[in-house]
A and B are shown apart, each in its own frame.
Chain A
Amino acid sequence: MAYNILIVDDSQTMRKILKKSFILSGFKVGCCLEAVNGQEALNILNSCMVDLILADLNMPVMNGLDMIKALQKDEKHREIPVVLVTTQGSQPHLEEAYALGVKACIQKPFSPELLRDTCSRVVEESHV
């Protein structure tokens, strides 16, 4: 089964690396959408359905945590699993993210295998 994914990161380089890592790891991606910040991601979600969101924390306009808070308030989107891909993996940040419903956190830099294993687990759990 291929999953539709939304990558939310202000770095074009990191978005490319994520897409390449999915290909290298064998994780099956159907449609891969991209947003440069949380606000753009919310706009995209108004017209497209995705199975998984990968989001950075530190972004201009709307950061990752604010985007997740907005998703939680939206009945249509609150069930979409979110995986954080960030350098800010300190305990207080993670506690806040998990309390908001984040399913997993991947610290940059990451291996394609870690990305595949984490995303596979998250999408499988969300489909149960």
Chain B
Amino acid sequence: MFEEIRPTAISLASKLFERMFCLPLEPQKMKQPLYKSPVVYKGEIGFHGKNSGRLMLYLPCDLADIMVQNFLDLDEGKTKESQKVDMINELCNMICGNLFFQLDQKVAWDLTLPHTNFVPPQEVEKEPTPESVAIDLVAEGSFGVKLVIQFMN
């Protein structure tokens, strides 16, 4: 599953960003720190099925603002914190649910309730564990997005 998960996750996340937020999302060509803000959002959701683990999504605050504006048709400066948290939770839910559905439709994948909080950018740069798939992406050409799928034994 480790080999399959990376291309499927990239393709799925790109499609969701395009469809939901009208934003292009692609893999980072060069590893570079793109998290300029003092804190970033971390969305997290657990999954249980053939494998168990958690999916984590890191997004800079500025990008979350644009995503909510585009998703809910709001003007700049009109977004609320609760809307950003809710949108990231829903995005984690959609990425995780659709990802495991695409990988194996015959398995019942149960998801936990997603939650989102702030973390320092240093957490995003941490090296992934051997049981993890870490994917560095870039949205709208300049906003770093990181997707980590961590499996538990």
Footprint of B on A, CB under 8 Å? 10-14, 16-17, 20, 58-60, 86-93, 107-109
Contact = CB atoms under 8 A, between A and B. Distances in A.
Contacts of A108: 90, 93-94, 97-98
A14 B92 CA distance: 13
Given A13-B87, A58-B111, A93-B108, A87 B71 contact: no
Contacts of B72: 13, 16
Given A90-B100, A90-B106, A109-B19, 11 more contacts: A10-B113, A11-B86, A11-B90, A13-B87, A87-B96, A88-B111, A91-B106, A108-B93, A108-B97, A108-B98, A109-B94
B111 A87 contact: yes
5 smallest CB-CB distances across A and B, nearest first, come from: A87-B97, A92-B108, A13-B86, A11-B90, A87-B94
Contact of B86 (A12, A58, A60, A91): A12
Interface of B: 16, 19-20, 49, 71-73, 82-83, 86-87, 89-90, 93-94, 96-98, 100-101, 104-111, 113
A121 to B, nearest CB: 23
A14 B83 CA distance: 11
B101 A12 contact: no
A108 B98 CA distance: 8
A13 B105 contact: no
Contact of A90 (B87, B90, B109): B109
19 contacts: A11-B89, A12-B83, A12-B86, A13-B72, A58-B111, A60-B113, A86-B97, A87-B93, A87-B94, A88-B110, A88-B111, A90-B49, A90-B104, A91-B105, A108-B90, A108-B94, A108-B97, A109-B16, A109-B94
The SS class assigned to the B binding surface is helix
A95 to B, nearest CB: 9
**Which of B19, B83, B93, B109 is most buried by chain A, counting CB atoms within 10 A of its CB?**
B93
Contacts of B93: 11, 58, 87, 108
A105 to B, nearest CB: 11
B77 to A, nearest CB: 18
B29 to A, nearest CB: 27
Nearest to B98: A87
Nearest to A86: B97
A87 B45 CA distance: 13
Contacts of B20: 109
B101 A87 contact: yes
A3 to B, nearest CB: 24
